[in-house]
A and B are shown apart, each in its own frame.
Chain A
Amino acid sequence: MKKQLLLTVSSNRVVAPGWHHMVLEGTDLPPVTPGQFVEVAAPHGATLLNRPISIFDATATTLELVIAPVGDGTKAICDAKVGDSLRVIMPLGKGFTTEFPVGSKVLLVGGGVGIAPLYMQLCTLIDAGVKAEVLFGLRSRPDAEFCKQYEALAPIHICTDDGSFGHHGLVTSHPAFGQHYDMIQMCGPKPMMRAVAASAAERGIPAEASLENMMACGLGACLCCVEPTEKGNLCVCKDGPVFNTSLLTW
């Protein structure tokens, strides 16, 4: 069941240049699955419409988000101080596949702030005995504390386009990308996801992509967020945001 809740900011930390990791607290948060998202109301009416943000992690009393302040809405949200309240609608959409035979190999590919929905997915896969690896394409290095969360769970590979750390180049040129996997799951800029999907398809690896179309309602009511697919126009907010790439006509 979806809920609209008033949550209190209990932590708001810059974990990489241009990335805020926020922890919100409340009671009776509804259960969520990895890859689902929330709508956050920008404080002080900074924008009329709410902002879709992926769930980084969640429990019955906490919601964690990673947000890049790129415009009026996300800036107002990132400006929230510890103790401020944010109105949140959650959980929304359909997330990543989480059921795999034990011992399956899954690669999680994140580009930029698109890494956000992959953390909870990683935790879920590891708990289920899946061998998951993480491949991130980033512009700058997140702080050690943030990276540790991943390192504790699985092998993590990082690429930067300028080579300032990690592998120099695109995620598709990283050696880890060339391995075989039973599934690739990703979130990030469309050009990255298209390149990953094309390569996965060539190698017969199924892939799932989390899309970020512009949204108004987030509930499947307005039909603003549609993505053309093999099954016609589907709502990213309700039928997605995660789609099997074989459905997409991008």
Chain B
Amino acid sequence: MVTDMSTQLGDLVLSNPVMTASGTFGYGFEYEDFMALDNLGAFIVKGTTLEPRQGNDYPRMAQTPAGMLNAVGLQNPGVEHFIEHTWPRYGALESKVIVNVSGAKIEDYVRVAELLAPLEGLRAIELNISCPNVKQGGMAFGTTCDGAASVTRAVRDAWPRHLMVKLSPNVTSITDIALAVEGAGADSVSLINTLMGMAIDIERRRPMLSTVTGGMSGPAVKPVAVRMVWQVAKAVKIPVVGLGGIASAADAIEFIMAGASAVQIGTYNFVDPSAAGRIPAEIDSWCQAHGVSRLMELKGII
């Protein structure tokens, strides 16, 4: 790369700002045929809970204009399985991994963080306080300032390294929530998680998802996400990670201009499995063509 692409999320230094979003990138290995995972700034693995979870019933996805709805419901084999079977496979990639931590109770989040803490190569966790798919799940924490602050504070005490907190867009004021988790000790915030949505199959007169409502993602949500990143970046002092509908280097640069220190690619990994690996080089080319020598010069210029 000709451009200085590095970025810093507090104590967490990344070679470039392009990450992949939880739940859209499996554990990383699924995409190894399509990119060198090392090209990414980081990759965030599937939402991990204390106990194994089977997730919601099928159908779990529906296609919508320029996007999709999902109701996967945090299917994962549990944190102990991750530690025993998945983590040892990362080897030299350890420093690129971020674990997305989900739960239904504060104690569960804390326990997952405690179990992950001894993995020294794991530099950061992302706290999913915003998943809309679990019945009495994380959403409750993510939608009130008190809830978001209390789960963040509890995990802060249990987790010694970088703590990123992922915010739900399904709130009246996302800046209030961001300020609350900043006050509770978050090192960075990432946004947005999926927007609550719904679709109906009119022929069958049935909802498209087994759970009726689900999380909307993809290019259709990008303008909402850019607006929220811009608002939050203006309000908090900690770094902001932007995501929601990113499909190109141009989209990533848009989030950076809105105030993001890093970005995540989500749904677009399903469309073009090599995109996330290519976007850092495409950002570099754009910067060269536009006389930008250090990418983070663009951060928050709007």
Q: Which residues of A contact B (CB under 8 A)?
A: 1-4, 41, 47-50, 87, 89, 213-214, 216-228, 232-233
Contact = CB atoms under 8 A, between A and B. Distances in A.
Contacts, number: 84
Interface stretch (B51-59, B101-109, B255-263): B51-59
A248 B273 CA distance: 29
Contact of A227 (B54, B58, B72): B58
Contacts of B60: 223-224, 226
Contact of B272 (A4, A47, A233): A4
Interface string B37-73: 0000000001000000011011111110011101010
Please classify how large the interface on chain B is, using the bins under 10, 10 to 19, 20 to 34, 35 or more. Answer: 20 to 34
A144 B24 CA distance: 45
Contacts of A87: 272
Contacts of B24: 217, 221-222
Nearest to B272: A4
Given A48-B63, A48-B219, A219 B30 contact: yes
Contacts of B269: 217, 221
B23 interface: yes
Given A4-B273, A217-B269, A226 B30 contact: no
Interface in B194-247: 218-219
B271 A226 contact: no
B58 A228 contact: yes
A87 to B, nearest CB: 8
The 8 closest A-B pairs by CB, nearest first: A221-B26, A224-B61, A2-B33, A217-B270, A221-B30, A216-B270, A219-B30, A223-B72
Given A48-B66, A219-B26, A219-B273, 7 more contacts: A2-B33, A2-B34, A89-B273, A221-B270, A222-B270, A223-B75, A226-B75
A214 to B, nearest CB: 6
B159 interface: no
A72 to B, nearest CB: 9
Interface of A is mostly: loop
B141 interface: no
B122 to A, nearest CB: 20
Given A214-B61, A222-B23, A4 B75 contact: no
12 contacts: A1-B33, A48-B218, A89-B273, A213-B58, A217-B273, A221-B25, A222-B26, A222-B70, A223-B72, A225-B58, A226-B58, A228-B58
Given A49-B271, A221-B30, A216 B68 contact: yes
B31 interface: yes
B274 interface: yes
Contacts of B34: 2, 4
A47 B135 CA distance: 30
A250 to B, nearest CB: 11
A111 B267 CA distance: 32
Contacts of A3: 33
A216 B70 contact: yes
B59 A49 contact: no
Contact of B63 (A2, A49, A89): A49
A69 to B, nearest CB: 16
Nearest to A232: B54
B18 to A, nearest CB: 17
Nearest to B275: A4
Contact of B271 (A2, A48, A213, A232): A48
Contacts of B46: 223
A1 to B, nearest CB: 5
Nearest to A47: B63
Residue among A2, A41, A224, A228 with the highest chain B CB neighbour number at 10 A = A224
Contacts of B61: 214, 216, 222, 224-225
Contacts of A41: 271
A108 to B, nearest CB: 26
A48 B61 CA distance: 13
Contacts of A228: 57-58
